[in-house]
Amino acid sequence: MRRAAVVVALALVTSACSSTFGFPEGGTQQGRDIRELWTVFVLAAIAVAGVVYALIAWSLLRYRRRRGEDPDALGRQFHANVPLEVAYTAIPVAIVVALFSASLLTERRVTALDPDPATTVEATAFAWGWRFVYPEEQIEIVSPPSRPGEPGPELVLPLGEPTRVVLRSQDVIHAFWVPAFNFKRDAIPGRTTSFDLTPTHLGRFRGVCAEFCGLNHAVMTFTVRVVEPEAFEAWAREAAG
Amino acid sequence: MSARGAVGWLTTTDHKRIGILYCLTAFGFFLVGGALAGLIRAELASPGQQVVAIGTYNELFTIHGTVMIFLFLAPFGAGLINYLVPLQIGAPDMAFPRLNAASYWTYASGGLLVLLSSFATAGTGAAMGWYAYPPLSGPRFSPGVGVDLWIGGIALVAISSLLTGVNVLTTVFLMRAPGMTMWRLPVFTWNAVVTVVLGLLAFPPAVAAFALLFLDRRLGGSAFDPAGGGDPIVYQHLFWFLGHPEVYILILPFFGVITEVIPVFSRKPLFGYPGFVLATLAIGALSIGVWAHHMFTTGAVDNPFFSAMTFTIAVPTGVKFFNWIGTMWGGRIRWSAAPMMFAIAFLLNFLIGGVTGIMLAAPPLDYHLNDSYFLVSHFHYTMMGGGAFGVFAAIYFWFPKMTGRMLSERVGRLVAVGMFVGFNLTFWPQFVVGLRGMPRRVPDYPPGIGFDAPNLVSTLGVVVMSLAVLLFVWDWWRSLRRGPSASDDPWGGDSLEWTTSSPPPEHNFSTLPAIRSHRPAFDQRHPELVR
Amino acid sequence: MRTWGRIFVAYAAFGAVAGTVYWLRTNEPAGSVLLWAMAAMPAIVVAFAAVRGAFRARLPEDDPEAGPAAGEEELGSFPTASVWPLIAVVGALVGLAAIVYGWILLPISVALLGWALVGLARESRG
């Protein structure tokens, strides 16, 4: 019986560790790093919430006023317990220090810029669409006017190699978000911001504007297509035409 | 002597009447904001656009956010503070009664302007989101009069908050009853103090930001428009310097509420009173240093600094949870009482808001979750699951004191359960769609990518919640006129307001008990236990 | 009396330290000034109270042994009704509407505010 319980518990823990708890797996190296951090945070959250919920449930059930009990009966009138209070302050401190450290390390990796990216895309957001320029390959891709059902312009990235995205905005604040890559960055007029994407999966992924930017914000979408590096070269030659 | 009838209410300077006016007005705005939310959820129930036009939808969520934050939750807290603080410290009124009346009317007229900004502007309504980021809120992209009215309205609400802040601090610092030292203040009053201090520190920069935005819009300034050399990031700094303390301005009064409710219905003193007060003060200070965690994805702020501050604020919040659990531990908990049920629902919901807040405090996770429905759900778990449930706990707890009548206990239980179930049905699915990549502030989403079913469930949850709220409104209306009479102390309360009549007389007290702890009413009932 | 002074000093210290650390890390002016302002605001209040001798006053609410009788002295009079706050706020509202809808409304606003000011002054003189 006890062995069965241990097996079940182990199975639960292992399946929990392999689950992403609803988070996308991450179609880039950066996205996978973020997803791993997410797993750490979710497990910590489940542990903390589990303990707190159990304490609340126990208090409510064990110390409920029972039927027929004197309505004015008092509970035990204790006010404090200093060692306990120190403990319940120190334990959360330890937890957040650990989580903050993990987050800091992941952030450094995710926002690190490769000194020698395979290619560079200058992405410019405008109300309401996107312009993707590959300066090295001399390619320019611009949104057709946004409307519902229109997938928007296609951003092509080579698999397994870092692509530098240089993000700008032409008018109001937008945000470049590819949910499958677990990553977004705001496009702010008057500022330039850069990040790297290193795709790990072939395919097409949905991209959206994540910062409210006016009337057609909801349909300001784009598509990311990840291809093999050779296919990328071929596509670039053809697109530069 | 105060006049009777409508004139009496219009000219009153009695803190109790002003508090009730605040609460009633704020609750009216809750119903307005809830109706707007209902329209938003109706549009999102299934993919495609069915209910409202896209421009109208943008106005809906703008005004929904503005109303709930600036016109419902914060002013309801201000109403409770107005009503309760003088009673809890044994004072005859607020320090500046006429200023207090002016604060209320300033808030009410600000609310009027905000409503006008959307409903009376013929297609040029404010539709820039409740945080009004320029350049979108600037003259080129929102030329209509709506944003101007919105700025005027929010400025008035901010001024009202400053006037209330000065008034409350003067009252608490200088008008406490003999023996009511600061370390014997009731916990609600402590939370009120930190709330108004935050308001005093955080509203001025936001008013400055709105004034600059107004100059940009009307007088050709370019503080925030890069086309003229301005910087939109500066607006974000100024706005979130208010915006983040503001969420604590919203929640702290309701931390106070449930910290009054839980000990009373557990028949115990608050566990770890000094630690609780220090945690409240720490939350107040830290909340001022976390603002740019709303800006992690800009790539233009010091993410580690703000991340560290945000993680730190989880510690005092966690301490409060243990205070509440420690208070229930070993008690005789009457958890079928309506105020206690709402307080328990507060604990269960707010914990979800708290642990998801920790996730959002990590910049890498924020890169995925920011501006998604995950974020929307997170702050509704704190602001609605916490704040609004705190509002109901407060109404059920102090209604007898305010009116001299009781609300129905049975209906109250039904309302609590209905709201709890409806709330979780509404917002739990939003975590799911947020993780799957649904951005906020969209009226539509593509079918077949995992957004359909959760959105439908979420809309059904709103139906359940609305029914519970309507049931409450009916019971409130009925009990106001025909509810059973309430005694002076129907719950066995701890703080001074329970030692005076229900409702209290003008200037509050005929006699005060000796104050020897932070629960003088309890000491008066149980002199044998006074240490 | 002294407790709130300590709290304000602590808030001022927090703002000063946080603002300085933030400035050293980022050289970003907006946030640094905001944090230093957070330090300055409570510091100004505490300094004013200290200069006025407010922290030396012994008040019955700070005496843990004080009985109810210690508060017999008059706190001042508290009005229960006044029409002037409402009129002042309506004046301010009309003033804001003037900015948005047209300056023609401004004289009405000024008149209402002036009327409320005179009314308040007369009322508080008794």
What tens digit of pLDDT does each residue of B453-486 get? 999 999 999 999 999 999 999 999 999 999 999 9
- Which H helix or E strand runs over B457? helix B452-482
* B chain contacts of residue A110, beta-carbon cutoff 8 Å: 364, 367
DSSP A138: T
pLDDT band at B1 (very low <50, low <70, confident <90, very high): very low
Is C119 among the domain residues?
Answer: yes
**Do C54 and C88 reside in the same domain of the chain?**
no
Q: How far is CA B107 from the centre of its chain?
A: 15
Q: Is residue C30 part of a domain?
A: yes
Which regions of chain A are under pLDDT 50? Answer: none
- Average pLDDT of B247-261? 97
Structure tokens at B531: 């240490």
Q: Chain A interface, mutation test: which of B63, B131, B239, B329, most A Cβ atoms within 10 Å?
A: B329
- Going B392 to B393 to B399 to B401, the CA torsion angle's sign is negative
Give phi and psi for A161, each to the nearest 5. -125, 145
ipTM attached to this prediction:
0.94
Q: Are residues C57 and C14 in the same domain?
A: yes
Cβ atoms of B28 and B114 within 8 Å: the answer is: no
Residue B112: pLDDT over 70: yes
Chains C and A touch (3+ CB pairs under 8 A): no
**Domains along chain B?**
14-529 (1.20.210.10)
Q: Do C90 and B105 touch (CB under 8 A)?
A: yes
What is the pairing mode between strands A163-169 and A119-126?
Answer: parallel
Neighbouring chains of C at 3+ CB pairs under 8 Å are: B
Q: What angle (nearest 5°) sits at the alpha carbon of residue A77, between those of residues A72 and A79?
A: 140
Same domain, yes or no, for C120 and C88?
yes
From residue B410, alpha-carbon distances to B340, B414, B485 in Å are 13, 6, 16
- Taking only the tens place, the pLDDT of each residue in C37-81 is 999 999 999 999 999 988 887 788 888 888 777 766 666 678 878
On whether both C89 and C47 belong to a single domain, the answer is no
Whether B135 shows a pLDDT value over 50: the answer reads yes
C51 and C96 both lie in a single domain: no
Hunting for tokens 């390390």 — which residue is that? A105
Core vs surface per residue B149-181: b (16+ CB within 10 A) or e: bbbbbbbbbbbbbbbbbbbbbebbbbbbbbbbb
Q: Is A126 on the interface with B (CB under 8 A)?
A: no
Q: Are strands A129-134 and A119-126 parallel, antiparallel or unpaired?
A: antiparallel
Please indicate, yes or no, if residue C107 is contained in any of the structural domains.
yes
Region B139-159: what's the mean pLDDT?
A: 91
How many Cβ atoms are within 10 Å of C68's Cβ, its own excluded?
17
pLDDT for A145 equals 65
Of B161, B189, B23, B171, the closest CA to residue B96 belongs to B171
Contacts of C93 (CB under 8 A, 6+ apart): B109, B112, B113, B156
Classify residue C75: in a domain, yes or no: no
Q: Is residue C71 part of a domain?
A: no
* Segments forming the whole domain that contains residue C107: 84-125
Q: Is the pLDDT of residue B171 over 80?
A: yes
Band of pLDDT at residue B228, cut at 50, 70 and 90: confident
Structure tokens at A109: 């990796």
Rg for chain B, CA atoms, rounded: 23
Check B226 against A37: CB less than 8 A apart.
no
What integer best gives the mean pLDDT of chain B?
94
Say which range, B122-136, B172-186, B289-303, has the weakest mean pLDDT.
B122-136
**C73 lies in some domain:** no
Q: Which residue(s) pair with A224 in the sheet?
A: A155, A205
- Taking the Cβ of residue B527 and every Cβ of chain C, the question of whether any pair is shorter than 8 Å is answered with no
Tell me how many residue pairs between chain A and chain B have CB atoms under 8 A apart: 260
Provide the whole-model pTM.
0.95
Asked if residues A209 and A184 have their Cβ atoms less than 8 Å apart, the reply is no
Count of structural domains within chain C: 2
Domain locations in chain A as residue ranges: 2-64+79-111, 119-240
Helix, strand or coil, per DSSP, at residue C1: coil
Residue B216 neighbours by CB under 8 Å, 6+ apart: B134, B138, B139, B222, B223, B224, B225, B230
Backbone angles phi and psi of B309, in degrees to 5: -60, -40
Residues C48 and C9 in one domain: yes
Report CA torsion sign: B79, B85, B91, B95.
Answer: negative
Q: Do C47 and C8 lie in a common domain?
A: yes
Asked if residue C118 belongs to a domain, the reply is yes
Distance between CA A92 and CA B63 in Å, rounded?
37
Section B330-354 average pLDDT: 95
- The answer to whether residue C68 sits within a structural domain is no
Nearest to B383 by CA among B72, B108, B132: B72
C95 and C55 in a single domain? The answer is: no
CA distance B385 to chain C (A): 30
Interval C90-106: pLDDT, tens:
999 998 888 777 788 99
Residue A97: predicted pLDDT? 97
User: Order of strands, edge to edge, in the sheet holding A129-134?
Assistant: A139-142, A129-134, A119-126, A163-169, A193-197
Contact A22 B372 (CB under 8 A): no
pLDDT above 70 (res B366): yes
Nearest to B304 by CA among A102, A58, C34: A102
Task: Domain A119-240: give its CATH superfamily.
Answer: Cupredoxins -  blue copper proteins (2.60.40.420)
